[in-house]
Structure 1
């Protein structure tokens, strides 16, 4: 009996463990390679995607909307009194007394001050004496001429002598007329010693006191201004309207004013007249509006803002001003197509609203327009569209 017969384990063949160990080692290496290389491959792919995405610009877009048929323009305005005058003296003298101080409401013809001018009074008395002399001489010449005419009718005197008496009468009549005109002139000059208000208004300045020396005239270096008067119940408001909207301005156009001290209040006004011509320096039209003083709430000389409503016959599309580009060929915009590629379009501009403009041609309401296009924006570029930009209220 052999050993194999006695031991069953000894009769079975012996296995070699090396192939199993090699298989296990290969599997471990494969797992290691898979754990190391695959993530790197994935990371490289992600990096490539990110690099490609970084090369694609991100833009914000906005869609045009219908422009308003009418809009308000706000212009700085100058408020002035409807009537405003500087009052000067017409005669030399000393101020005897003044009767109206600054801020005093006065009526037309009301006495403001009196000037003491004795020289004018003496000249007036002399003129009246000269007038009386001229009247007496004319009366004598008239009587003499009538008598000589009666004598000449009976051929008692010569025609030549009668003509001389009639001519002397006419000369004396001319002298009387001159004397009366001189008296009237001096009487009018004497009336100027009383300074009176030319119209209803308010005294806005008083520059003299009792006893001050008064010089006649209003030219520089002559007489100083005695009083300044303004009519404050009705005011004139002046504004410069830009040329592009000047055609819409005309008498009767409704407007309103706002004041810095009361920005929440509107004061109605009406365009009364325009200059009828564009100022070649400012390229604007001067308009004048009438406005009530609102019981003194609007004062002459104040700064105000005038709001004018300007309409358009055919309103276009409204677009933010920061979407425009201005190359040499005219204004353009960048439009994002359905496939996210850019096209550059030329547009025709209409009204300028400040932060937004009116586009008359070149766009559709459904177009997506790039906001703040950079210098690198070119036609055919592929872009990514961010969230739509918010529009400010018009």
Structure 2
């Protein structure tokens, strides 16, 4: 009983002594455990703000999309006769996916073919008229040449008659010939003059015939050209019908995988342009994929094509990140999100990835940034979350300096405002300091 009664007060006293020691202020001790005398400067460790180039990264949500996402639609109206492929099937460009029966188009083609045949016959007739007109021109030109030759012959005869008349008149005046001979010569000359006038009229008529024939020739050519043009127009209409009939065989526009089928056998398709054509299939090109990354405005301006991208997908959480590069930038911000769409390409010939997968992408920006950095432990935060440091000058005086930080790597903090490279601040310390307080660097 006696030993128990003594030991209890002793235990209480010992506990009180230990408690009083534990309540001493941390400012009265230093990190080395040595005791600081009252009034002496607090010994602290200093760190220097460093100017360095830092690699910037940004991690944003990313979506995997098909390189091309194509909707196959109907171009003709009719009933679906056959369907050759279904969802999950791989197709190549040009393969027939389905066929459509369009009897109206076949009837229109037959009618148009008859129209073209009729116009072709008219065109041939017009060409024959051109040949006939050409022959008439040649005939008229030959008649003109004949008339001109006759005129030349008559001119020669007239010249001879005139010469004979002049000689005879001279002889008659000298009394060498009788007056009767002169009269006969005069009659022959006048006859040649009349013949010349007749031939001149014939030349004029032949010239007119040539002009008429040429006009008929031009008219025939114009009619032939018009017939040919009309035939060409109808042939183009026939070609359009042939093209429409070809659309009855709906073909794959790209290589890829059919991911959706929205048509059944016997469906009536409406391919008129007045209405939105019915979607039949969706084909995704998946041998190459696009990764779309929406990057906020503040980082988007620094990203360039070729920057490295690490893609992490929950579907392959146990595998290393997929490495690729920035392929292209949209060049504009989305007004609703103030983000820019960044695109990277992935080789997917093995078919491992699927369009629609979602994950995160980390873009390493190639342009490094010159920055002032401090160890993270040297930056403090007040109750409002504002960052500050204890800046130490050459006189070992403390200044509480507000700073603006722009990122934390876990070990270092980038300082935007409030601190310059080369300045010293107090490293991690339990004590709070005030402006103009003196410290002792260790």
* TM-score (structure 2 length as normaliser): 0.64
Q: Aligned to 1:168, which of 212, 223, 232? A: 223
Q: 1:177 to 1:292 in 2, by over 3 A?
A: same
**Which residue matches 1:138?**
123
SS in 1 for 2:279: coil
For residue 248 of structure 1, give the secondary structure of its aligned residue in structure 2: coil
Q: Match of 1:83?
A: 68
Matched, 1:197 2:252: yes
2 CA distance for matches of 1:305 and 1:372?
Answer: 39
Change (3 A) 1:252 1:334: closer
Which residue is 2:324 aligned to? 269
TM superposition shift of 1:81 = 0.9
2:139 to 151, 154, 163: 154
Contact between 1:204 and 1:228, CA under 8 Å: does it hold in 2? yes
Matched, 1:236 2:294: no
Give the whole-Å Cα distance in 2 for the aligned partners of 1:209 and 1:226.
9
3-state SS of paired residue (1:261): helix
Question: Which protein is bigger by CA-based radius of gyration?
Answer: 2
Aligned to 1:154, the other structure's residue is in SS state helix
User: 2-side partners of 1:323 and 1:125: how far apart?
Assistant: 89
1:308 aligned residue? 363
Change in Cα spacing, 1:124 to 1:371, as seen in structure 2 (3 Å) is farther
Do the aligned partners of residues 318 and 378 (structure 1) sit closer, same or farther apart at CA in structure 2, a change above 3 Å counting? closer
- Deviation of 1:379 (Å): 4.5
Tell me how far 1:214 sits from its aligned partner. Answer: 1.0
The 10-residue stretch of structure 1 (305-314 or 228-237) with the greater mean CA deviation from structure 2: 305-314
The 5-angstrom pairing of residues 250-265 of structure 1 reads 250-263=304-317, 264-265=319-320
The 3-state SS of whatever aligns with 2:109 is helix
1:94 is matched with 79
| Aligned-pair CA distance for 1:319 | 5.6
Give how far 1:372 is off.
12
1:74 match: 59
Q: CA deviation at 1:337?
A: 6.2
Q: Per the alignment, do residues 71 and 336 of structure 1 end up closer, same or farther by CA in structure 2, a change over 3 Å counting?
A: same
Quote the RMSD (CA, aligned, Å).
4.1
Contact 2:47 2:427 in 1 (8 A): yes
Say whether residues 1:347 and 2:430 are aligned partners: no
1:342, distance to aligned residue in structure 2 (A): 6.5
Distance in 2 (alpha carbons) for counterparts of 1:118 and 1:354: 74
Structure (1 or 2) with the greater helix fraction: 2
Kept in 2, the 8 Å contact 1:88–1:218? The answer is no
Does residue 1:116 correspond to 2:101, yes or no? Answer: yes
Q: Tell me whether 288-297 or 79-88 shows the greater mean CA deviation.
A: 288-297
- Size of the aligned set, in residue pairs, is 331
Structure 1 Cα separation of the partners of residues 280 and 412 of structure 2: 52
**Shift, 1:278, TM fit:** 3.8
Assess, with a 3 A threshold, how the Cα gap between structure 1 residues 325 and 54 changes in structure 2: closer, same or farther.
Answer: closer
For residue 279 of structure 2, what is the aligned residue in structure 1? Answer: 225
Deviates more, 1:231-240 or 1:339-348: 339-348
**Aligned equivalents of 2:229, 2:217: Cα separation in 1:** 19
**Quick one: distance in 1 between partners of 2:408 and 2:424?**
22
Name the CA shift for 1:164/1:354 in 2 (closer, same or farther; >3 Å).
farther
Which structure 2 residue ranges, 5 or more long, are not aligned?
1-12, 29-44, 141-208, 438-442
Give the whole-Å Cα distance in 2 for the aligned partners of 1:235 and 1:372.
Answer: 54
In the TM superposition, what is the alpha-carbon distance from 1:355 to its structure 2 partner?
Answer: 11
Match of 1:249 in 2: 303
How far off is 1:344 after superposition? 2.4
Change in Cα spacing, 1:370 to 1:304, as seen in structure 2 (3 Å) is same
TM-score (norm 1): 0.71
Structure 1: distance between partners of 2:253 and 2:262: 17
8 Å contact kept, 2:77–2:272: no
Q: In structure 1, what is the Cα distance between the partners aligned to 2:401 and 2:357? A: 47
* Counterparts of 1:116 and 1:158, CA distance in 2: 55
Give SS of 1:289's match.
Answer: strand
